[in-house]
Structure 1
Amino acid sequence: MLLNIKSYIRKPEVAELFSYAVFPDDHSVEKTVSEYENNEAWQLYGYEDGELLVGLTGYEKAGSDLILHHIAVIPENRGLGYGRGMILEIMTKEKPEKVIAETDEEAVDFYRNLGFVVNSLGEQYPGIERFRCVYEVEEAADVD
């Protein structure tokens, strides 16, 4: 179940998860934490399995679209469906027309396996290619 974790964003387990989603140095993690603290539009949710925080996802609504800023799952729990589950719960809660994420090559297959269309943005940083991932949400058919 997703829980709003913005109120305890400074806990070490949240910083650890952010370190998997951004360049893993103290400056990058602090910059990311500050962005969530200072931007009311940015939402931050965590996924707990029992008492363990296994993942987090941060996003914002932009009109009818949902922009995923961060998603991370602790390494020992990857491949178990937590990332997919977090995205599906957010989509159910927010009901966007599109879900958009920008990522690096390591996460491209994750997004493709969820049905996102992936396009290269080219080399955004020296030696690092970035990708734009877009999922068009289909409207549920009306049942008569």
Structure 2
Amino acid sequence: MSLKNYWDRDAVERLLAECMCAGAAEVAEEVDRYLTGGSRDLLGTFVNGELAGVVGILHEPGEAMELLHIAVQARLRGRGIGRAMVEELRRCKGNDMLRAETDLDGVGFYRKSGFVVTSLGEKYPGVERFNCVLPVSSQAEYAL
């Protein structure tokens, strides 16, 4: 569900902060970009009426979608909520590919979710980054 009109912005910011290495002001700015940007969407999933997970996406030119952020409440992790959000994105019409970039901590999640993961090398000093690509349809090609 789109979070553009969701009433509890604090809950959104707390959850988004879990996947960002940023302070409160930067997280608030990122939420603003999602809420006002035409090519970005911030989607949420709920468990028993509570915001359980968020996924931030960028609609890329063409037929791809980039996952910019994905987070699940710490106490709810390991229940398949993150993979369910990815699966929901896979079913979006007109989307042939999902992309994400992650660090070593996120590689296992993306691999378990079916993404092809390749190293981008040390993108930042001492930090290896990884490109994750999930073709959605038979027409999609790996953009590695």
Using structure 2 for the length normalisation, give the TM-score: 0.86
Partner of 2:86, secondary structure, is helix
- Between the aligned residues of both structures, percent identity stands at 36
Of residues 4, 8, 11, the one that matches 1:6 is: 4
Change (3 A) 1:9 1:119: farther
Shift of 1:118: 0.7
- Name the structure with the higher helix share: 1
Aligned to 1:100: 99
- Residue 95 (structure 1) shift: 4.2
- Report the Cα offset of residue 38 of structure 1: 3.3
Provide the residue aligned with 2:48 in structure 1.
Answer: 50
Cα separation, 1, equivalents of 2:58 and 2:9: 22
Q: Report if the CA contact (8 A) 2:86-2:113 is conserved.
A: no
RMSD: 1.9
Q: Distance in 2 between matches of 1:19 and 1:135?
A: 25
Aligned with residue 37 of structure 1, among 35, 38, 41: 35
Residues 22 and 28 in structure 1, CA contact (< 8 A), matched pair in contact too:
no
Deviation at 1:130, TM superposition (A): 1.2
Instruction: Determine the C-alpha separation between the residues in 2 that align with 1:38 and 1:129.
Output: 31
Q: Which secondary structure state, in structure 1, belongs to the residue aligned with residue 21 of structure 2?
A: coil
- Which runs of structure 1 show a deviation greater than 4 angstroms over 4 or more consecutive aligned residues? none
Distance 2:32 2:123 in 1: 23
Equivalent position amino acid for 1:40 in 2: G
Q: State the one-letter code of the partner of 1:4.
A: S
Indicate yes or no: 2:106 matched with 1:132: no
Q: Which residue identity is paired with 1:115? A: G
Gaps of 5+ in 2: 140-144
Give deviations 1:39-88, integer Å, cap 9, x for gaps.
11101110001111100001122211111111100011111000010111
Q: Once the 2 structures are TM-superposed, how far is the Cα of residue 23 of structure 1 from its aligned partner?
A: 0.7
Distance 1:29 1:61 in 2: 20
How far has the Cα of 1:7 moved from its partner?
2.2
**Alignment gaps of 5+ in structure 1:** none
Change (3 A) 1:38 1:26: same
Q: Is 2:55 the partner of 1:75?
A: no
